[in-house]
């Protein structure tokens, strides 16, 4: 009986956690400047928007394991005028811009369910 109760509490906590986590958005537009992807294998050529909750609360475990969106984005480290992390809102959800990944990591993230492909092009205001 105690095992069932504990399992129900853990399942409820996981459900509550998953309600706070939304998916990253990956754009198929190529970046204008490149840096290494978090996987360390390729150049990060695809811009992504990370959910603000991933930074404030917690990243999904699988995204953390895959080092998704953790590369050294060249714009943030090279001192360009756009080296800041921009906040961007889409349909009432807050995202952080100036992150990128490689094609292989993008495909893996979509396949594993913690990211989606964008239906529109990357917002010009964030470049």
Beta-sheet strands, E only, within 21-101: 24-26, 35-36, 43-44, 46-51, 87-90, 93-101
The model carries a pTM of: 0.74
- What residue spans define the domains of the chain? 22-121
Distance CA 127, CA 110 (A): 23
Residues 1-38, buried b or exposed e (16+ Cβ, 10 A)? eeeeeeeeeeeeeeeeeeeebbbbbbbeeebeebbbbb
Note down pLDDT in tens along the chain; length 127 residues: 444 434 343 444 443 444 445 899 999 988 777 778 888 888 888 999 999 998 788 889 999 999 898 876 655 555 554 456 678 888 888 998 888 899 999 999 999 999 999 999 988 877 7
């Amino acid at each position: 009986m105690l095992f069932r109760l504990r399992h129900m509490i853990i399942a409820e906590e996981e459900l509550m956690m998953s309600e706070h986590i939304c998916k990253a958005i990956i754009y198929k537009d190529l970046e204008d400047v490149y840096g290494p992807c978090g996987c360390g294998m390729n150049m990060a050529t695809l811009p992504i928007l990370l959910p603000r909750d991933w930074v404030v609360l917690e990243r999904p475990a699988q995204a953390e394991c895959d080092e998704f969106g953790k590369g050294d984005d060249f714009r943030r480290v090279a001192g360009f005028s756009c080296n800041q992390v921009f906040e961007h809102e889409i349909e009432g959800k807050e995202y952080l811009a100036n992150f990128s990944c490689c094609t292989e990591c993008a495909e893996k993230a979509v396949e594993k369910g913690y990211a989606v492909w964008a239906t529109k092009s990357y917002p010009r205001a964030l470049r």
